[in-house]
């Protein structure tokens, strides 16, 4: 009777260890998938900085739930590396020259890029407005010449 109880409790311990080992393997597989997504993630041309930050933050949060805490410097470098070069190359190059990316906070970099994005948006709107005015004036000018 004592032997049966010991064997039974050993089996429970082995079953528990097997489950934990299985859980660890599942967690590790999920973490590998997340890290692969993280490595591949890039900001799309149609994304805003907020959209891209949301995607990065989501992956970082999901990794943290699985026990992988991402350093701020890793997030900063990934964030800058994943930005579209055509739109952000000037600000990224400036930030890399001026700041120590290993000690600059993620929120600080995000704030700087959001400010830059707003500036670009204002400039683009001004350019679009100027083009629209030019086309309108050009069309009016052509209309008056054809009447002469």
Q: What would the pLDDT profile of 59-94 be if each residue is shown by its tens digit? A: 999 999 999 999 999 999 999 999 999 999 999 999
- d(Cα 5, Cα 7) in Å, to the nearest integer? 5
DSSP letter assigned to residue 104: S
Q: pLDDT over 70 for what percent of the chain? A: 70
**What is each CA distance from 6 to 2, 9, 10, 17, in whole angstroms?**
6, 5, 6, 16
Query: Do the Cβ atoms of 41 and 59 come closer than 8 Å?
Result: yes
pLDDT at 93: 96
Q: What would the pLDDT profile of 113-142 be if each residue is shown by its tens digit? A: 999 999 988 877 666 666 665 566 666 666
Those residues whose C-beta lies under 8 Å from the C-beta of residue 103, and which sit 6 or more positions away, are 73
Read off the pLDDT band of 148 (50, 70, 90).
Answer: very low
Angle between helices 72-81 and 49-65 (to 10 degrees): 140
Query: Do the Cβ atoms of 77 and 95 come closer than 8 Å?
Result: no
């Amino acid at each position: 009777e004592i032997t049966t109880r010991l064997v039974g409790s050993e089996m429970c311990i082995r079953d528990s260890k097997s489950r934990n080992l299985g859980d660890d393997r599942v967690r590790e597989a999920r973490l590998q998938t997340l890290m692969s997504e993280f490595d591949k993630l890039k900001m799309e041309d149609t994304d805003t900085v907020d959209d891209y930050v949301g995607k990065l933050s989501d992956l970082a949060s999901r990794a943290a739930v699985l026990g992988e805490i991402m350093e701020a410097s890793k997030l900063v470098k990934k964030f800058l590396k994943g930005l579209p070069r055509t739109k952000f190359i000037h600000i990224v190059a400036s930030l890399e020259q001026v700041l120590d990316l290993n000690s600059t906070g993620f929120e600080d970099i995000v704030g700087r890029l959001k400010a830059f994005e707003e500036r670009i948006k204002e400039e683009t709107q001004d350019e679009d407005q100027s083009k629209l005015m030019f086309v309108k004036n050009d069309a009016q000018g052509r209309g008056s010449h054809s009447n002469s």
